[in-house]
Structure 1
Amino acid sequence: MAVLYQLRRALLRPPLLNPTYVGTRTLTSPYQYVDTVNSSTALNEPEDQKIGKTQGKWLTLPPFNLTVNGASLGKNIAGRRKSTGEGDAITTTAIKWVMRCCPQLPRSLVQKLFRLRQVRRKSIKGSKSVEDVHASDGQVKRVSAKDAMRIGDTVYLPITVQALPTEKTECLCTEEELKFLHDLELYKDSAIIVINKPTGMPVQGGIGIKRSLDELVGTYLRHELSEAPRLVHRLDRDSSGILVLGRTQLSAIVLHSVFREKTVGATNIDLKSEKRYLQRKYWALVIGLPRRPQGLISVPLGKVVLDDGRSERITVVENVSTMTSQFAITEYRVLDSSIHGLTWLELSPLTGRKHQLRVHCAEVLGTPIVGDYKYGWQAHKKWNQICSFNLEHKIEVCNKNSYPFGLNLESGSIIDKQPILHLHCKKMVLPDVSSAIQRAQDRTSLDYDFADIKSLKFDAPLPPHMQRSWDILCS
């Protein structure tokens, strides 16, 4: 906060005429270098003259070019829209363009610059192509945050934004922790990074959370990019498995749209004939055995607030007219069952509702997931009394390994006194977002067809406690 306060004070001060600012300066950007305006020859009257009198006052961002609308691209990949044209592509506002070119600047600071009217834009009259970017007939004017950008527009920021420190407060990791993080990687390309999330690692920060996965990945798994990977979906803290992050702002927007369209369109598709462009398959060990070996669950879920707002619970809504709800759809099939009253299920969520799989297993199938005490406490009490004795002979004394970040990954199997959640995102099929973005950025075509876009397939090994339970039940 102190750094932002000092920076904002610097922005409000008149700019210093420092000759060291004349020439080329840079801001870290994933798109291209940001240069200072070097003289009045770059700008015209009347604002141009004012800018030219104070050399080094302004930083110029790359000229705006035809960009891909990530949300529209995601809809195209999902098959919800048949084509995307120039009208869809050029929907970027001035503030979005600044944030895209300067991801290291806090959004609150950029918003303040626009509120104080300290951002300028040079528009090229009649510009229709990128070749007109350096034409000299443009006018420099103040620009508002929500003003739409046009091809060839150049945005100027006060040079005082360079005072923003590049150093960030980072959570220091040991070599063992760094190796552990890199070992979580399943796949990486120019658009996405896929990791096998460990059990017990929170995905996002919050009260009482010192280390979160998005912070660690954003700091230590950037690789060659200056941008930090962004979350596009979630996994519960106690669950594990495949987690996808967008490596750039654009790829994150596309992935957000793909996951959102999967949920929105799930209630309107023909499940037998519809192409599954996004597939997720979870493995879960449940208490009991479903009546049918496979089936489709489609029920509305709603949130119930408990303990005067201190906690909440998701439940099946019986009367949708009296309670706010959202439909949740899950396909399931039995993988294997044991004489100990436990069953391995494969769960395929077609929507992405909070605690969807846990509630569907506990309240619809009547088979709560092992380790899910929130939705299956009573079932655990009965199961422990009946089955714990039968499993005692399978307990083996072994040396348990220690893991970084305080994770206890080997305890919590079915032979432990208190098993932890047995829910793992085992497989995922995802559209090749990197290829789709490349195709959309090809300016030779404004009508994109993603029907033949290839798919990426991922498979994450079971976490140690679930693998141990699998071995015990199969022995």
Structure 2
Amino acid sequence: MSYTFKVSEHHAGRRLDKVIRTLWPNLPLGAMMRGIRKGLVRVDGRKTSCSVRLEDGQSVYVPWEEPELIEKSVKTKRTGALSIVYKDHYIMVLNKEAGLIIQPDQSGEESLIERVWLEVEPEGDFRACAVHRLDRNTTGLVVVALHGQSLRELQRAFRDNDVDKTYLVAVRGQTPLEGDITAPLQKDRDHNIVTASPDGLPAHTHYEKIAGDDECSLLKVSLLTGRSHQIRVHLAISGYPVIGDVKYGDFALNKQWYHRIRLDHPLLHAWKISFRRLNPPLSYIERREFSAPPDRLFLKFLRTKGWQTYLEGV
């Protein structure tokens, strides 16, 4: 099952990945990227890259059916658009949706960085790279490096803790006005579960209450360390699990909110990010704050609680 086509004058000068997306709009993005990366897609018999620009008359071999047949057999959502908060020559700041992984993996699912690769011309041999991670079902800000120099400086900033990250979180119960949680955290990589343990790594979470009632609270949460699942576990062990969190949360409350607003992911949003110190070439964005609004379901939750105006000026 394969197909070979000649590059027409109409497609000459366009990137290989763009031409494939035009001819096979419903082909899963992960399948296309994996085919090119593994050399299964060939131009004039040679392995190539996503960004190569095709020439009139070149022969392109792909390991899937011709466009008309695959359109009939493959039923999948088209590639989603990028929600761009900020972009320049060196960096891009995106607002990630729930359910989207950051990096491509063996599952073949569409990833955020593959969307970026389709939209951004590579800087020489450098391909855009996400500097940090968010869990699949966490929404909000992701910083992407578009240049090798910016990647190195952003990695240094995260490593040296020169980053301020603020999350918007809805939890079960009436929390104190503010609090600090410092339980060490240990990850079981075989089961992808994090627990509080004296043998774990140091972790520090600070929260401030924005609004609350007997049922739940809306929190502004700051990460002073960046451990896996840190906010979810720290709040859960404190008795305030994140609403919508199926791994560490309250099943009964999650079910209630599913029926009320069809909530299908945790109400955990990477809301704001800024860098306290940045060296060239990124010193121009030092202390600049980037922010992104929460998604549709989080906003629906806020409206249901009457808390939609509480975010103003926070």
TM class by shorter chain equals 0.5 to 0.7
Q: Distance in 2 between matches of 1:348 and 1:302?
A: 20
8 A Cα contact 2:157 2:275, kept in partner: no
Question: Which letter does structure 2 place at the counterpart of 1:203?
Answer: I
8 A Cα contact 1:370 1:380, kept in partner: no
Aligned pairs (5 A) from 1:84-95: none
User: Which of 196, 205, 213 is matched with 2:104 structurally?
Assistant: 205
* 2:105 counterpart of 1:260: no
Partner residue in 2 for 1:359: 233
Shift in alpha-carbon separation, 1:432–1:224, aligned structure 2, 3 A: farther
Shift in alpha-carbon separation, 1:189–1:359, aligned structure 2, 3 A: same
User: Which of 113, 116, 120 is matched with 1:214 structurally?
Assistant: 113
* 2:180 counterpart of 1:280: no
Q: Distance in 2 between matches of 1:165 and 1:278?
A: 37
Q: Number of matched residues?
A: 239
Q: Distance in 2 between matches of 1:185 and 1:358?
A: 26
Partner residue in 1 for 2:301: 469
How far does residue 370 in structure 1 lie from its aligned partner after superposition? 0.7
Q: Distance in 1 between matches of 2:262 and 2:100?
A: 21
8 A Cα contact 2:84 2:93, kept in partner: yes
Unaligned runs of 5+ residues in structure 1 are 1-105, 107-162, 263-276, 389-411, 440-449
8 A Cα contact 1:432 1:456, kept in partner: no
* 2:267 counterpart of 1:422: yes
How far does residue 288 in structure 1 lie from its aligned partner after superposition? 1.1
How far does residue 414 in structure 1 lie from its aligned partner after superposition? 6.8
User: Which of 130, 151, 158 is matched with 1:231 structurally?
Assistant: 130
How far does residue 437 in structure 1 lie from its aligned partner after superposition? 2.0
**Paired residue secondary structure (2:269):** strand
Question: Which letter does structure 1 place at the counterpart of 2:246?
Answer: Y
Partner residue in 1 for 2:4: none
How far does residue 418 in structure 1 lie from its aligned partner after superposition? 5.6
Higher normalized helix content (fraction of residues): 1
Partner residue in 2 for 1:165: 48
Unaligned runs of 5+ residues in structure 2 are 1-36, 38-45, 52-61, 68-76, 308-314
TM-score, scaled relative to structure 1: 0.46
* 2:190 counterpart of 1:316: no
How far does residue 416 in structure 1 lie from its aligned partner after superposition? 3.9
Shift in alpha-carbon separation, 1:463–1:457, aligned structure 2, 3 A: same
Q: Distance in 1 between matches of 2:302 and 2:259?
A: 9
Shift in alpha-carbon separation, 1:338–1:209, aligned structure 2, 3 A: farther
Shift in alpha-carbon separation, 1:359–1:414, aligned structure 2, 3 A: farther
How far does residue 185 in structure 1 lie from its aligned partner after superposition? 0.6
1:364-421 alpha-carbon deviations (Å, 9 max, x no partner) = x211001111112xx332x368xx4xxxxxxxxxxxxxxxxxxxxxxx7671466421
1:28-50 alpha-carbon deviations (Å, 9 max, x no partner) = xxxxxxxxxxxxxxxxxxxxxxx
How far does residue 303 in structure 1 lie from its aligned partner after superposition? 1.9
Q: Distance in 2 between matches of 1:337 and 1:414?
A: 21
Partner residue in 2 for 1:4: none
Q: Distance in 2 between matches of 1:352 and 1:186?
A: 22
Shift in alpha-carbon separation, 1:384–1:423, aligned structure 2, 3 A: closer
User: Which of 210, 235, 243 is matched with 1:370 structurally?
Assistant: 243
**Paired residue secondary structure (2:231):** helix
How far does residue 426 in structure 1 lie from its aligned partner after superposition? 0.8
Partner residue in 2 for 1:327: 202
Shift in alpha-carbon separation, 1:414–1:294, aligned structure 2, 3 A: farther
Partner residue in 1 for 2:183: 299
Question: Which letter does structure 1 place at the counterpart of 2:186?
Answer: G
Higher normalized strand content (fraction of residues): 2
**Paired residue secondary structure (2:81):** helix
Q: Distance in 2 between matches of 1:166 and 1:251?
A: 23
Question: Larger Cα Rg: Structure 1 or Structure 2?
Answer: 1
Percent of aligned positions that are identical: 27
Partner residue in 1 for 2:213: 338
Shift in alpha-carbon separation, 1:166–1:287, aligned structure 2, 3 A: closer
8 A Cα contact 1:303 1:314, kept in partner: yes
Q: Distance in 1 between matches of 2:259 and 2:288?
A: 33
8 A Cα contact 1:336 1:345, kept in partner: yes
8 A Cα contact 1:370 1:419, kept in partner: no
Q: What is the aligned-residue RMSD (CA, Å)?
A: 2.9
Q: Distance in 2 between matches of 1:164 and 1:208?
A: 23
**Paired residue secondary structure (2:156):** helix
Q: Distance in 1 between matches of 2:154 and 2:187?
A: 26
**Paired residue secondary structure (1:351):** coil
8 A Cα contact 2:122 2:146, kept in partner: no
